[in-house]
Every structure is written in structure tokens, then in C-alpha cells.
Amino acid sequence: MPFGRAKEHAYSDAERIRYWWSAERERLVDALEALAPSRRREPIAAGGWSPHDILAHRVFWEAQEREAFEQYLKGQTPGLLEFPVERIEAANSAAVEALQERETAALLRALARLRTSSEQLVAQISDGDLDTTHNPARILLGVALEHDREHRGEIENFREGE
């Protein structure tokens, strides 16, 4: 190996999934915290959710994801993977409505607690499971990271209008 050149590491699917799952979680929270507090309850689009509503939405789904990881580790089929698509919109609306009155700081603390619990569960999932294409845990992590990525993008685009 030539001087000064490090050996390249081939990352496994499990390593990439864990990295991006963690990174997107941090980036979503960073985007929320970087937003001026006066704009957190301002709708992103006419008639749409505010960043605060998105946070409430993610608190709800984080709890569902944590429960799904717990089920997976117990050898059960994660119920979240069988969540009826036709009920998603109603669940989203109910979650936002139920948590809307809570302070943003309280929701951020709730999200942090849930995410710490989720991280502890995800740490117990084997790399072999995450390296397996149609594994339920891999699917859950992939959906969760894409969910955070989608909402982070919405908040960052909104913030650019400051």
C-alpha cells in the first residue's frame, strides 16, 4: 500500500443502513432546532403541516417503530409492517391533533427518549439480519430513515425562506 493511502473499507448493507438511519434521525432534529422558534408553528404550505406538526407526527411514528423493533426482537411479525395503508392518513391526522398543543421542546424531549429506546433495540439486531434483503428489520429501518429524510427536506426547504 502506498504511503499515506488508507486501505478502503467495503461497507456492508448493515453498516450503511445503521449509518444512514442514525444520520437522518440527527439531521431531522438539527433541521427542526435550526428553525427560528417563531416559525415552528407556521404551515410549510397553505393548509399544510407546520414543522411542529411534523415533529408531532414523527413522535407518533417513532413510538410505532420502536414497538415494531421490539416485536421483531421477540420473533414476532412487526405489526407496523401490516399497518393498513388506507388508515395512514387518519393516523397521521390523529397524531398531529393529539400532540399539537404540546410545546416543541417537550416534543423534542419525547422524540429523544423514544429514539434512545429505539437505538438500544436496533443495536440488538444482527448485521446478518440487516444484510438480508427482505428482512423485516431492514425494511423498518429503511422506511424510518426515508421518512426522516423526507420531512427533513421539507423543513430545510421551508427554512431557506427565512
The string of pLDDT tens digits covering residues 86-139 is 999 999 999 999 999 999 999 999 999 999 999 999 999 999 999 999 999 999
What is the reported pTM? 0.90
Compute the Cα dihedral for 95, 60, 100, 162 and give only its sign.
negative
Per-residue pLDDT, 17: 96
Closest by CA to 32, choosing from 19, 41, 22, 20, is 41
Q: State how far Cα 95 lies from the chain centre.
A: 15
First vs last Cα of the chain: how many Å apart? 49
Interatomic CA distance for residues 79 and 64, integer angstroms: 9
Interatomic CA distance for residues 155 and 151, integer angstroms: 6
Res. 146 pLDDT band, cuts 50 70 90? very high
pLDDT tens-digit readout, 45-83: 888 999 999 999 999 999 999 999 999 999 999 999 999
pLDDT tens-digit readout, 4-48: 666 677 899 999 999 999 999 999 999 999 999 999 999 998 889
